[in-house]
Amino acid sequence: MGIDLALLFALHKYVVTVWHRHSAGIARSRLHLRLEAYAKRGILSEDAATRLEREIAVTSSHEDAGSADLIIESVAEDFSIKSKLLAQFDELISNRGLLATNTSSISVNALQRGLTAPAEFAGFHFFNPALKMTLVEIVAGSLTSHSTVEMLKSVAARLDKTSVTVGDTPGFIVNKLLAIQINCALRLLESQAASAHDIDLAIVHGLGHRIGPLALADLIGLDVLYNILVSIFEATGDFAYKPASILKELIDRSHLGRKTGQGIFDYRKDGIA
């Protein structure tokens, strides 16, 4: 997601630097692979891919972020990892640029605590794939200023995205509704009520969705989905969000979805990973 956000912003004429916590080399490699895949699939032209690879800077140094107007954290959906990283970047923003998190379910209020300028921090939640999905959720914490929300709305509009503003409720809007549907589909699957193919087929043709919930789970990443469900379950105590057992079983086998070639569906076999 971090690489896709870099591409999205660069395509809209922002000056972009990708930070990677391990090494700039890893970030550069992932950027190259993503651009190569998008060029092959016709999502980007070869000329655009070449230009973006040249224009996007990569780094593993926190100090390079000091002059940024906007920093978007997009690391693993883990509170401890996110809060530690946000605190490190918070200390470096010399011109008091905005700091945002791309979290899909973690409390913005909790992440906001301890920041030196909590008014200039908010959730800025993009959906996968970021180049195609048109929605962005702007999540205002209890200390987020109106001007911060308005600035993020302006950024979203420049990116040709539709933005909605939501308070810091578990799962925000989309994931609170979506996660429960996917979890229910997983429980249908593990109870052998129907095959994965037929569950998705029923939702696509019965409800008019563009993609079935199980294929969507694979696209999101089963590990990411699991963390979303756990986060909402722990925040609400609603057992509808307690992850279906089959989800953890798949994760334990490293079947994480499209990104590993196998999840609920086998994309290597079907040749569409």
Domain 2-167 matches domain 174-263 at the CATH topology level: no
CA dist 101 and 139 (Å) reads 9
In our burial notation (b when 16+ CB lie closer than 10 A, e otherwise), range 145-180 reads beebbebbbebbeebebebebbebebbbebbbebbb
What tens digit of pLDDT does each residue of 220-241 get?
A: 999 999 999 999 999 999 999 9
Q: Which CATH architecture is the domain 2-167 placed in?
A: 3-Layer(aba) Sandwich (3.40)
**How many CB atoms sit inside 10 A of residue 24's CB?**
17
What tens digit of pLDDT does each residue of 84-102 get?
A: 999 988 887 756 689 999 9
| Phi, psi of 136, deg, nearest 5 | -135, 130
User: Who wins on pLDDT, 65 or 90?
Assistant: 90
Q: Which of 32-36, 227-231, 269-273 has the lowest mean pLDDT?
A: 269-273
Reference 70, options 111, 101, 28, 26; nearest CA is 101
Which pLDDT belongs to residue 76?
Answer: 87
At residue 128 the predicted structure's pLDDT band, cuts being 50, 70 and 90, is confident
Interhelix angle 222-236/213-220, nearest 10 degrees: 100
Instruction: Specify the CATH number of the domain 174-263.
Output: 1.10.1040.10
| Phi, psi of 263, deg, nearest 5 | -150, -120
Where do the domains of the chain lie? 2-167, 174-263
H-assigned helices in 56-114: 79-90, 108-112
What tens digit of pLDDT does each residue of 130-141 get?
A: 999 999 999 999
**Average pLDDT for residues 15-41, to the nearest whole number?**
91
CA dist 102 and 1 (Å) reads 9
Residue 270 has pLDDT above 60, yes or no: no
